[in-house]
């Protein structure tokens, strides 16, 4: 039986989460479909553009992503109480940036948008409902996937589900768990043998970090979110240069520069994500997390 989402995603405390969502039947609906000989790779760009739009409006910060041919991975910082720092005007603007009124040609109807903004600001109950939606991880995922599904179905002239209805989520309770999840996500194309280097696949967060505007001095900066909606600007305490080193030592084509014990521990931590645990963290933190839910820590994967 599926675990209720409110037990997996904390409604009061900010955490990072590793999220995975798959296409129905794990079909290659966002890549090259060998059975039909059709290439749907352009849909990865649709999903990435939508992620950037929603990430700036909802109470999330996007740290890592990998858009694959039949699924996608995200590492998000999610703050369920971020709206406490937002004004009513902020709420209205965030919502209308995600769901603006459209003209028949698909462009934004700015006149109607202004009327809707005024209507939202004059309705306390509606403002409360929109605050709740903008601070919901489930609503974020719904609005991320639904437009992609509709657009793809129109393109294919068909109906039905595009993504599996439920998405997988894993709470990342320590910074080490976050870094391991980010590495697992950024290495996904290499692990799937569709890329040989960490930057070869352009639909990944590491490619975005090392893109056209990359400057060498960025290697000394701590990792920061690629898209910020929650407003938490506290970086992960690992520099981009060290993070790249963490990625490259896992590659089979790279000669490891780490001591064997350290390398084995790191590879084991990254490989832990394959087991699809519900939470990752040190023993003490994970035990407390489980206790609040009435779970046994033996059911979950531990690492410090």
- Spatial separation of the C-alpha atoms in residues 135 and 298, rounded to whole Å: 31
Q: Cβ distance 219 to 244 under 8 Å?
A: yes
Alpha-carbon separation of residue 7 from 11, 222, 278, 298 (angstroms): 9, 31, 10, 17
Task: With residue 111 as reference, give the H or E element that holds it.
Answer: helix 110-121
Q: Would you state the pLDDT for residue 35?
A: 67
Query: 295 and 222 in one domain?
Result: yes
Query: 93 and 60 in one domain?
Result: no
Query: 226 and 130 in one domain?
Result: no
Query: 213 and 281 in one domain?
Result: yes
Query: 240 and 210 in one domain?
Result: yes
Q: Would you state the pLDDT for residue 72?
A: 96
Q: Would you state the pLDDT for residue 59?
A: 97
Query: 282 and 256 in one domain?
Result: yes
**Is the full-model pTM beyond 0.85?**
yes
Domain encompassing residue 32: 9-80+168-299
Query: 209 and 192 in one domain?
Result: yes
Q: Cβ distance 259 to 266 under 8 Å?
A: no
Query: 210 and 89 in one domain?
Result: no
pLDDT tens for each residue of the chain, 304 residues long: 578 888 889 888 999 999 999 988 667 778 877 767 788 889 999 999 999 999 999 999 999 999 998 899 999 999 999 999 999 999 999 999 999 999 999 899 999 999 999 999 999 999 999 999 999 999 999 999 999 998 888 887 788 888 888 899 999 999 999 999 999 999 999 988 888 888 888 899 999 999 878 888 999 999 999 999 998 767 789 999 999 999 999 887 777 778 889 999 999 999 999 989 989 988 888 888 888 888 876 655 544 3
User: Considering its fold, how many domains does the chain have in total?
Assistant: 2
Query: 211 and 70 in one domain?
Result: yes
Query: 292 and 212 in one domain?
Result: yes
- CATH code (residue 245): 3.30.70
Query: 247 and 216 in one domain?
Result: yes
């Amino acid at each position: 039986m599926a675990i209720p989402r409110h037990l997996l995603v904390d409604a009061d405390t900010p955490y990072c989460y590793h999220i995975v969502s798959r296409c129905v039947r794990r079909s290659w609906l966002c890549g090259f479909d060998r059975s039909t000989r059709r290439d749907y790779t352009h849909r990865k760009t649709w999903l990435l553009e939508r992620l950037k739009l929603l990430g700036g409006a909802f109470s999330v910060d996007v740290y890592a992503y990998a858009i694959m041919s039949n699924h996608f991975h995200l590492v998000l910082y999610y703050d369920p109480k971020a709206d406490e720092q937002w004004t009513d005007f902020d709420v209205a603007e965030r919502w209308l940036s995600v769901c603006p009124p459209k003209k028949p040609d698909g462009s934004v109807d700015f006149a109607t948008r202004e009327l809707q903004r005024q209507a939202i600001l004059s309705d306390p109950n509606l403002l409360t409902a929109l605050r709740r939606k903008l601070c919901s991880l489930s609503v974020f995922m719904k609005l991320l996937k639904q437009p992609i599904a509709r657009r793809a179905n129109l393109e294919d002239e068909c109906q039905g589900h595009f993504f599996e209805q439920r998405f997988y989520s894993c709470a990342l309770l320590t910074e080490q768990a976050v870094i391991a999840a980010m590495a697992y996500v950024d290495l996904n194309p290499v692990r799937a043998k569709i890329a040989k280097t960490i930057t070869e696949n352009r639909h990944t967060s590491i490619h975005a970090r090392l893109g056209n505007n990359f400057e060498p001095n960025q290697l000394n900066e701590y990792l920061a979110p690629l898209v910020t909606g929650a407003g938490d600007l506290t970086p992960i305490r690992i520099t981009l240069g060290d993070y790249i080193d963490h990625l490259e030592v896992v590659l089979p084509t790279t000669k490891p520069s780490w001591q064997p014990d350290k390398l084995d521990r790191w590879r084991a931590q990254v490989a832990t994500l394959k087991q699809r645990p519900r939470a990752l963290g040190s023993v003490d933190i994970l035990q407390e997390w489980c206790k609040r839910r009435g779970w046994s820590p033996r059911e979950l994967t531990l690492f410090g």
